[in-house]
Structure 1
């Protein structure tokens, strides 16, 4: 579907709702990188929403373009290729580092959906944990907790006890309550914040994406939240590496943090398979941390 929409001149004026792919045995890589020709009216924020990409994703993939005034007639990279997170492919998996949610529907085990999300900012971190959806709410009211009301009051803003459903409600049109007290998957009335660390810990989706996800999931669906700054995955006999800054880096904000586990995983692959590794490609992926999968090696055919 997306390939038919590339080019601002033929854009139909509505956002793409998430993305989905069929999976085959041994496949860890989905989607593909696409391109968009920038028009004079474009901003990176608007383009990101059109194609179902988060703010940080599109900025990291296009570091030379101005966010609000990208040069017209330039080709902008759409990072719509992903290595799937490690671990079980069941229910919902949120990778904080890439600020992206994956949904593996139980009724279609060979399919995956994916949505960009906004997560908690520094001091209000979205936790690494495992939980479940405990209820689904259409047109939710928002009851600001005392901690948020106090923070707002310190900034000179007095929040009411309840903000009813509607355009002023920061929860958007739908919410999925989690077994983790105080945390939700929800829409937003500020879609520009999707793909950023801006919330008080909750997980924000584009307005059109929360509607789609709300219809897909049931109460009881498991949510696994991980923080994987790097992901390794296979497509056929090609090995790919995808690198992001850690969700909450301990050093300089946005600095890539890649654990020594990467070296250990590559060593494990060497020990079990004939791998031809491109060390320069590995280093480039680590240096750039663009979030775009990079081919770093290939599996050699074993001789009988």
Structure 2
């Protein structure tokens, strides 16, 4: 899930040939990665009545960290040097993006449906672009501003369920607001990671950030153990945790990094939008959720905003290149 990926600080394409020997295979890896990520939303929603959100978050990042750590053993010396030099920065960035973000979304899924969460998460690239404007001083053109406004209107339509009067009455679903906050945290993580420019192998950096997420999630988990009456590791919880930590965690992280190596960050990142479709389909098949009219109206505004940003930005870039 967007709870899920390492936003990279290099946007170069490693090789045109993907992990399977072809560009098609590289895209297949990327698509499968987002299918696994979509399943995390379904598992978290399914188990929310039995398993508290921070327990799911803590054990997910801990198990994923433990599985991936041996894979990057060749980079241990560089990892230790980076921790010594910039440990606090790693803790803040990893904590925001891979712990706080996940925890907020899991909390939100206790009250909101997975379909809505998937649509809200599609906002991450737009929020990232806005934060990059203020934090990294990256330029935003007129059409990017208009596209961003359209996308946020789409989210507003979803949050008020197509009824503007709900906003006046402050009759809002708190779960959806938690998910918006989670999307904001992941966007902030992306921008901070881009600014940090850590000089380390991509997968090794992910392992360090997951370690930071473990340290960040632990206090929330311990507080939850003391205050929440739900059993953290009953049968349903173990099944959901097994999925979100291994196929939806370690394997998904690894595949995403492989797709970036083959496709580059820009092309691999665009596949994020496929996740929203996967979530809607899986939520219908597994959770019995239905697409409502306000989902479609809000999604249409978000897609319109994204098209304005992506297509007109590309056109402007092409014109500048010709000039």
**TM-score in terms of structure 2 length:** 0.25
- The structure whose residues are more often strand, as a share, is 1
TM-score normalised by L of structure 1: 0.26
